[in-house]
Amino acid sequence: MSRYETNVVLYRLKKDSAFRDRFRADPGSALAGADLTDEEREAFMRWDTRKLNDLGGSLHLLISIPGLAGH
Amino acid sequence: MGKIVYAAAMSHVLYPDYYSQNVGPHGRRMVEALIDVVRDMGRTLAAAAPDALVVVADDHLNVFSFDAVPALCVRVGRSVNRMVQDNAIEFDRALEGLPERYPVHEDLANSILERGLQAGFDFAASWSAPLDHAFLSPVSTLYGARPVPPLVPFWVNCFVAPQPTAQRCFAVGRHIARVVAEGPWKVAVIATGGLSHFPELSLARVGQSDVAFDRRVVKWMEAGNYEPMTALTAKELHESGSHELLNWLVLLGAVSPARARTRFFGEMGRIDLAALEWDVA
């Protein structure tokens, strides 16, 4: 489980509005360079916040990404 | 001889809109009652006229990324900015409208850092980390329109495992108390966060707290019974959602053996809110 890379992507989604916009427009393209497992990539593509949390994604990032906050 | 002239700990999302949105009118009323108490505590704090205010709090992955998460970090430098977040959600919005910059008490911060390293505490130091709601929501509520004294922000890694132990955080507080006692300053110390919420940092469990756990730790603090608190394990803190008690443990080390006086305790469901003061005068 690449907990580090998952959280790097989540952190960028919170802090980098241009990356966030690219992700919302085309998540597959935005994540093309990210070193994620197939399971992690799929969770990002579906924006399945509970799955991302189960895979090690930080709760505090998941609940605070502008426009994408998970509950 | 320096002295700790005021000590308190309190929940740190002092933002009624957050609880309106996530809990409802009951949550809003409870946090508004807490805010009134914290404002009253602020009058006592301001009357103590500290030269510096040490604020022990945690980062919510706002400041430190997974590239490096310091277990314990002293903010040094001459000033510190508040965090800026575009399109901030809920509790991050509590920062909007606050001053952009606050003074740092450089001499006390450097003393805690340098003497800490000499004493075996391998603190990280940051010259640039900004402050999120964990610091500024309590500070701004305590001080209102009054001038805020120079700050010494101190971060404890509460959320990214492995965290420092409860015992270690208490020892850090003892260290801070020694530095203050041997220095020339009147110092206030506050710790923020809690009580229990977000058990296991699980999105599926957001909305749950552990009232029995919170009642127990408050009674321990009221009795000055800190041994069971320093014995709390990472597993107990994680399962109950009491990660932020690590901040409080630093404060307990600084004020021990003083006993706490509970100024506010409220069982909300999503979180238990609290504000406690210690008689250090």
In this predicted structure, the answer to whether residue B181 has a pLDDT above a threshold of 70 is yes
d(CA B240, CA B235): 8
> For residue A67, is it within any domain?
no
Q: Which token pair is B73? A: 């970090």
d(CA B270, CA B199): 10
Tell me the average pLDDT across B188-208. Answer: 96
> For residue A69, is it within any domain?
no
Question: Edge to edge, what strands does the sheet with B72-75 contain?
Answer: B124-126, B72-75, B151-156, B52-58, B186-192, B3-10, B272-278, B260-267
Domains of chain B (ranges; CATH) run: 3-278 (3.40.830.10)
pLDDT tens-place string over residues B234-276: 999 999 999 999 999 999 999 999 999 999 999 999 999 999 9
Q: Which residue of A has its CA nearest to B68?
A: A4
Picking from A15, A50, A64, the nearest residue to B203 by CB comes out as A50
The amino acid sitting at B23 is V
pLDDT tens-place string over residues B45-99: 999 999 999 999 999 999 998 889 999 999 999 999 999 887 777 777 888 889 9
Tell me the average pLDDT across A2-20. Answer: 92
The residues, any chain, with a CB within 8 Å of residue B245's CB and separated by 6 or more, are: B166, B193, B194, B195, B217, B229, B232, B237
Chain A residues whose CB is inside 8 A of the B89 CB are 63-66, 69
Picking from A53, A66, A70, the nearest residue to B87 by CB comes out as A66
Instruction: Please report the number of interchain residue pairs, chain A to chain B, with beta-carbon separation below 8 angstroms.
Output: 60
Indicate the average pLDDT of chain B. Answer: 96
Q: Which token pair is A56? A: 């090690």
The residues, any chain, with a CB within 8 Å of residue B168's CB and separated by 6 or more, are: none
CB A53 within 8 A of CB A62: yes
Query: What residues are paired with B152 via a beta bridge?
Result: B54
> For residue A71, is it within any domain?
no
Q: Residue B264: how many CA atoms within 13 Å on its side-chain side?
A: 24
Q: Which domain holds residue A31?
A: 3-62
Q: Which residue of A has its CA nearest to B206?
A: A71
Q: Which token pair is B141? A: 């509520």
Query: What residues are paired with B156 via a beta bridge?
Result: B58, B72
Q: Report pLDDT for A3.
A: 85
**Residue B186 is inside which H or E element, if any?**
strand B186-192
**Closest CA–CA distance from residue A8 to any residue of chain B (Å):** 7
**Closest CA–CA distance from residue A53 to any residue of chain B (Å):** 7
> For residue A55, is it within any domain?
yes
Phi, psi of B12 (to 5 degrees): -125, 5
Picking from B61, B66, B88, the nearest residue to A66 by CB comes out as B88
d(CA B224, CA B261): 10
> For residue A38, is it within any domain?
yes
Phi, psi of B275 (to 5 degrees): -145, 125
Q: 3-class SS at A19? A: helix
**Residue B223 is inside which H or E element, if any?**
helix B211-223
**In chain B, pLDDT over 90 holds for what percent of residues?**
92
In this predicted structure, the answer to whether residue B167 has a pLDDT above a threshold of 90 is yes
d(CA B174, CA B188): 14
Phi, psi of A32 (to 5 degrees): -55, -40
For residue A71, what pLDDT band results from cuts at 50, 70 and 90? Answer: low
Task: List the single best residue of A4, A11, A16, A64 to mutate versus B (max B Cβ within 10 A).
Answer: A64
**Closest CA–CA distance from residue B246 to any residue of chain A (Å):** 17
In this predicted structure, the answer to whether residue A70 has a pLDDT above a threshold of 70 is no
Measuring CA to CA, which residue among B206, B270, B256, B250 is closest to residue B9?
B250
Q: Which residue of B has its CA nearest to A70?
A: B203
Q: Report pLDDT for A1.
A: 42
Picking from B65, B202, B203, the nearest residue to A11 by CB comes out as B65
Measuring CA to CA, which residue among B196, B206, B246, B273 is closest to residue B58?
B246
